Amino acid sequence: MKIFNDFSLKHYNTFGLNYNCAAFIEVEFAEEIYSINKMFELSETEHLIIGQGSNILFTKDFDGIVIHPTFNNFSMKSQDNNFLYLEVEAGKNWDELVRYSVGKNLGGIENLVSIPGLAGAAPIQNIGAYGQEIKDVIEFVHFFDFNDNIFKVFHNRQCRFDYRNSIFKQELKNKIFITSIEIKLKKNPTPVIDYGNVKDELFKSGIKNPSVNDVCNIIANIRENKLPSPKEIGNAGSFFKNPIVSNSKFEELKKSYPDIPFFEVGENQIKIPAAWLIEKSGFKGKVKGNVGTYHKQPLVIVNFGNASGNEILDFANEIKTKIFVEFGIELESEVNIL
């Protein structure tokens, strides 16, 4: 392990905000977390686990300990006629893992291409995009429990996965450290192409029987064209979750907005794109000082270079207020705010 005191987090959050932490620990092997816990008693000490910081907004210095996993190996656990099972360590770059699986013609995570972050963070948020979610491929999550001071394993059903949610984001928040995930990938995949404009883009490209590689490339191009790269402009991707409303609420909205887009997500539940709500409320491409929404995708709040965390938060709250006043819908932040 490596320990740094009074450490700048500017390169560990994709908003590019220059806040410091009291101590920063690079974890080079999963087993080191046991020693770190004995040293700092993490169940009693303020701490934060950061991968690439692609889903976090700092509004001040962090007075506690930041833990960053760098161990990133992955290996095949087993295989059968239908699936190949991989164990992936927490520090593995997620996009690299997706592109590896696609290169082997393995299906299940190809639609999750170009999502920034590390593998260890994927189950916490139950990352998802274009009709796929990590919960659909996870078999087991390996983690260290700070309170019990032991390593544990949860099966998929114990993780309580939900839309952008899991037990790791709720009951076990700040109580565990994910060391690896086990995922199952399909050997004979059937690509998911019915979400967003994937099917349209495949048609334009003249692809009639798409492979996972075709779908991966199409989605990567879609994301590149509509989402800003954090390397070029500070952002954390989608700032808000797509709200889920009841059928009755949706029918009420439809009377005023006949063209409102929607997705059925369960009995008496309708998901409405937050980007559509934000655009309708006049915030697409809006700039206020050093902050604004991205001109191609209003769901993304960007830092134009000199914003503080509080400037970004104030702007996000302004959007939330406008949406609630106009639509009676309360947006929930997808980004973690500290």
Active-site residue list: 164, 238, 334
Q: How many CA atoms lie within 13 A of 183 on its CB side?
A: 27
Backbone φ and ψ for 279, nearest 5 degrees, come out as -65, -45
Helix, strand, coil in percent for the chain, rounding step 5: 30, 30, 40
Q: What is the DSSP string of 51-76?
A: SS-TTEE-SS-EEEEEEEE----EEE
| Residues β-bridged to residue 266 | 269
Location of structure tokens 């998911």: 192
Secondary structure (3-state) at 170: coil
| Residues β-bridged to residue 76 | 86
| Cβ–Cβ < 8 Å for 108, 191 | no
What residues contact residue 257 under an 8 Å CB cut-off, 6+ apart?
A: 280
Closest listed residue to residue 31, CA positions, set 106, 90, 75 = 90
